[in-house]
Amino acid sequence: MPLPRYKIYCLFIVFLVVGFQSSAQEPLTQTIRGKVIDKDSRVGLPGANIILVGTKPPLGTSTDENGNFVLKNVPIGRQSLQISYTGYQTVVLPDIVVRTGKEPVLAIELQEEVKSMREVEIVARQRKDQPINPMAMVSARSFSIDETNKYAGSYGDPARMVANYAGVVSSRDNRNDIIIRGNSPMGLQYLLNGVEITNPNHFSALGTTGGPVTMLNVNLLANSDFLTSAFPASYGNALSGVFDLKMRTGNPDTREYWGELSFNGLEFGLEGPFSKKSSATYLAAYRYSLTGLLENMGIKLKESAQYQDLSFNLAFPTKKAGTFKLFGMGGTSKIKILDSDKPEDEWTFPTHGEDIVTGSSLGVAGLSHLYFFNNNTRILTRLSVVSSQLETRVDTFSIRYKTPFVFAGEKSGELKYNLSSTVMKKFNAANNFDFGISADLYDVNYADSQYVSRMDDYRHYTGSKAGFYLLQTFTQWKHKFGNRFSSYIGLRYLYLTLNGTWSLDPRLAFSWNISPTQSLNFGAGLESQIQPHMMYFVQTPVKNGGYVLTNKEMGFSKSGQFVLGYNALFSEYFRLKVDTYYQYLFNIPVSESIPQYSIINEGTEYYVERQDSLVNKGTGINYGLEFTLEKFFSRNYFFLFTASLYQSQYKGYDGITRNTAFNGNFVLNGVGGYELPLGKTKQRALIFGLRVTWAGGRPYVPYDQEATVKQGQVVYDWEDAYKPRFNNYFRTSLRIGLRRNEKKFNMEFYFDLQYRANYTYVYYYRIDVLTGDIYKEYDLGFYPMAVVRIQF
């Protein structure tokens, strides 16, 4: 629940007045720290030159023997650095935000030239569309903390931020599930420092990848990658996309602190060195829900939703034994929606009410070790554990029978242990080779049931404890034919011990730099993914009163993917990108008893339907065309326009082609911002932002009202599956804010006003099982959100 709107408006006015007050007019400066490394081998480059662009006299420095540098007395504002090193392409790093109270710590990558080109100096701007992973050559781009924060309506959430990209659309406003190129959100994979996390969100459900509030703290993230198709072989067990998230290390020289109040809660963070004599660093932040704070202050809310999370990253570099990192993330969330506390005319349904209490938790802990055998060979080993828990109870009552009755409940958990190791070898400037292995041990416990009136008993959908392994290995090789043409080939193998199923997935990619400002790329590959884990343990009742596991033999879902892309730079700040793709999905679980059903349509709700007796006989296709026009930040403004036209269809057990639940057919996005510097020294700036989204309505399965009332439980009209559509979706977000720098700290405040028009995604669509009446609610109107951030 948001703050009362009038309080947000008052808060905005207070900070705006404070921000315009006069401050010291002497020029403010800051220190930039960082490390310059080889993009492929990750080795530090000693003696690299760093120059601050546009200063007179020139301001610069060079890296030490480990590739580290310190550049002092950098003026506050947005700056650019030029980095050069013999035998490597010179890079200009633009749009570096320099503020008081927080030293920028940069990781700068240089690409070695394949051939010596003494007569030509290659100067390349480090474009934000270029991925960090050197093996990713198509449908991949990196993003920064600054992007996540500066896009209006993103709420500091990476998933909501990438919904501005071509081919990506949010499934609904009250969750951050994302649909990528018509695929289910269940096909998305989150990686944190290389560790797979099933669902890094508060109020999450097992088997899904989204939720209302992210647990990821962008203040702890470094530049990271987002991939949408034909991934390198280093990624596996995903069909639609990959979030390859990296946690940054703490400042190695200065202790820093920050505080923030936003949609994601009240946050406090700190970072710095453990001691001046040690190179070890710490970075940590804790958040507590805004609604929890309001309730603790005695403010009664319509719904009680509380959550909290903690994230940390500890780095311990050594002189000879490599670098050790201990990192983690953990959080808990709980919400109560109690009709029993409301008058009868405010119950969920006119005939009866519901009390819903649900809570979830996630814990991640990892230990990594990076060791360099020499400047060209390294090994990265990780040991991690991930725990996910969910507990839900639904009680119902009516006007006649007001004593709560337990209608449904779930108490499930997953514990995953992982050990992985990857060897990376750079033979020369033209050839790079990787080989890796990974073992996941799952310890799962599922139990959920629901009362069925026609049976006058509970149906136990799951009730199992089990353990199994997912074993994976991969190899990949990248070769450069000079500085203009590159090729990639990879292979990944997956084996699931639960039922002995396996998959061998080849990957292939090419990139051709037609000119310094134009390039073509092509990627193809087979992607495989196991099913949501609890689906293997769905029970089918038998006549003797017991249950059998009819889903246990399900194999991998597979997707053959092809993508062709074109990139053009009109200038150093403008780029055009066009992608076309085709995906053929097969081995998709479908049902003989409900031939229209396919698991391909699951993934955007708070619960995955426990469908039994599934077989891998379904198929699907996704194809489309995407356009991106982007202006990187310069002259105080930026913008990003994207357009996506796509088709997403599937075949169930009956072989009939239908729309998938995600076939909206089109998405149009526009997001931009402008900063107006204030004062002679430009220590303050007004911030303006705008975001607009228009997308096609999603198909859905209507209810069978007569059968629902007769059976006393929800029954769908499968004969009309995915024929009707929800209304088209329109949303706009307006941002206005202020950034202010003082000698010892900086403050940023912005105010987002979101408007959802008459045509929007329905977020509440339910049927009364007693009367058959259908209820729809649309999240319409204006919704304010404010953020306050202080760093010192």
Question: Model confidence over 520-545: pLDDT tens digits?
Answer: 999 999 999 999 999 999 999 998 88
User: Torsion over CA of 723, 176, 107 and 743, rounded to 10 degrees?
Assistant: 140
Dig out the tokens for 451 from the structure. Answer: 């009362």
pLDDT bin (cut points 50, 70, 90) of residue 238 is very high
Distances (CA, A) of 501 to 105, 231, 468: 45, 22, 12
Please report the pLDDT score of residue 522 as a whole number.
97
Dig out the tokens for 61 from the structure. Answer: 């420095």
- Among 443, 660, 627, which residue's Cα sits nearest to residue 537? 443
pLDDT bin (cut points 50, 70, 90) of residue 681 is confident
Dig out the tokens for 664 from the structure. Answer: 């909206």
Query: Is the sign of the CA dihedral 527, 532, 536, 538 positive or negative?
Result: negative
- Among 285, 292, 305, which residue's Cα sits nearest to residue 174? 305
User: How would you class 559 by CB atoms within 10 Å of its CB: exposed for 0-12, middle for 13-18, buried for 19 or more?
Assistant: buried
Distances (CA, A) of 463 to 361, 407, 411, 469, 514: 20, 17, 10, 20, 58
- Among 99, 96, 100, which residue's Cα sits nearest to residue 83? 96
| Residue 418 pLDDT > 50 | yes
> Taking the model in full, what pTM does it have?
0.92
From CA 150, how far away is CA 154, in angstroms rounded? 8
Mean pLDDT of 326-337: 94
Please report the pLDDT score of residue 119 as a whole number.
39
Please tell me the least confidently modeled range out of 473-482, 616-625, 761-770: 761-770
Q: What per-residue string of b and e applies to 670-704 under the rule 16 or more CB within 10 Å gives b?
A: bbbbbbeebeebbbbbbbbbbbbbbbbbbbbbbbb
From CA 476, how far away is CA 423, in angstroms rounded? 11
Phi, psi of 25, deg, nearest 5? -100, 0
Q: What per-residue string of b and e applies to 68-91 under the rule 16 or more CB within 10 Å gives b?
A: bbebeebbbbbbbbbbbbeebbeb
| Residue 235 pLDDT > 80 | yes
Report the chain's mean pLDDT, rounded to a whole number. 88
| Residue 388 pLDDT > 70 | yes
| Residue 9 pLDDT > 70 | no
Q: Do 226 and 553 contact (CB within 8 A), yes or no?
A: no
Mean pLDDT of 419-427: 97
- Among 107, 112, 113, which residue's Cα sits nearest to residue 375? 112
From CA 72, how far away is CA 61, in angstroms rounded? 9
- Residues in the chain, overall count: 792
Peptide bond into 57 cis (omega under 30): yes
